Amino acid sequence: SRSMLQRGGGPSLYAGHVSTSRFEKLLITSSAALRALADPRRADLVGVVGEASGEHALRAMHTRMHAHPIGRSILQDRPLISKATMPLHALRSMPHGSLGAEYARFLERHQFDPDERSDVRFVDDADLAYVMLRYRQVHDLWHVLFALPPTFMGEVALKWLEAAQTGLPMCSVGAFAAGVRLRGHQRSFMVRHVLPWAMRHAASGVDLLSVYYERELERDLDELRAELELELSPLQVL
C-alpha cells in the first residue's frame, strides 16, 4: 500500500519496517539463504536475503536512478504497480502489441497477481526500501520486455540479468544456486549464451529501473525495445 512509502520518524521508517542490527541482518541472511537453497521456489525467502544483504547495492541503484532524469522522477513520485494502479481491464483495452496489452496477456496466461509481491521489511532506509520495492514490482514487466518465459530456465536467465542490472548479491547467488539444478546441456547454454547476453546489457548502460513503465504502457512493445536497445532473450531459440 502507499502507506509503506511515507517517510516518517520513529523506530519504524515505513509500514511493515522491522529495524535490525547488522548482527541480526547476518543471522536473517544466513537462515533465509539456507532455506531458500533448499527450496528456491520460496520467493519470500529470496526477498529477505536481498533486503538483509543488499544495502550497498541498493545505494548504488538509488544513486544511478537519482542521476537519471526519469529515474529521479520515479524516486520522487514513487509509483506502485498493483491491480489498483494497473487494472487488467484497462491494460487489455490498450493497443494490440503495446507493453500494457502484452503485460496483461502475460499476467493472465500465467495467472500471476502483481499484488502478491512481498512487502519490504528489513531495509533501514525508506528511500532504499522503495528502490527494492520497485525492483520487485517491475520483475514481470522485464519478463515481457525480454520475452522471457516464467519457466525455471527463464527465471535463472532473468536472475543473471537482474544481477548485472542491480548488483544485488541475492541475484548472483540465486542464479548460481539455481544453475546447479540445471542439466548439463542447459548449464552449457546458460554459460555460452545467457551469461554473455546479461553482460552485454550491463555494458550497454541502460538502467531498466529508470524506465517509467507506467508512461510507456500504450507504446508499441517492439518500438520500446528498439528505443532501449534491448536484445531479446536467447532462450527463444530453445
Q: What residue segments make up the domains of the chain, in order of their start?
A: 2-146+208-237
What is the spatial distance between Cα 234 and Cα 154, in angstroms, rounded to a whole number? 10
Percentage of the chain beyond pLDDT 70 is 91
Q: Which residue in this structure is represented by grid cell 520460496?
A: 42
Q: What is the dihedral of CA 194, 224, 144, 33, to 10 degrees?
A: 60
Q: What is the pLDDT of residue 22?
A: 81
CA distance 19 to 121: 8
Residue 103 near residue 140, CB atoms below 8 Å = yes
CA 60 to chain centre: 15
Question: CA geometry: angle at 127 spanning 125 and 131, to 5°?
Answer: 110
Closest CA to 65 of 21, 3, 130: 130
Position with higher pLDDT, 16 vs 1: 16
Residues 194, 234: Cα–Cα separation, whole Å: 6
pLDDT digits (tens, 9 = 90+) for 115-161: 998 889 889 999 999 999 999 999 999 999 999 999 888 988 998 99
Residue 3 has pLDDT above 50, yes or no: no
pTM of this structure: 0.85
CB distance 53 to 25 below 8 Å: yes
As a whole-number percent, the residues of the chain with pLDDT over 90 amount to: 54
- 71-85 tens-digit pLDDT: 999 999 999 999 999
Distance CA 205, CA 199 (A): 11
Contact 52, 44 (CB under 8 A): no
**Would you state the cell numbers that stand for residue 112, as one nine-digit string?**
500471476
Name the more confident of 194 and 71: 71
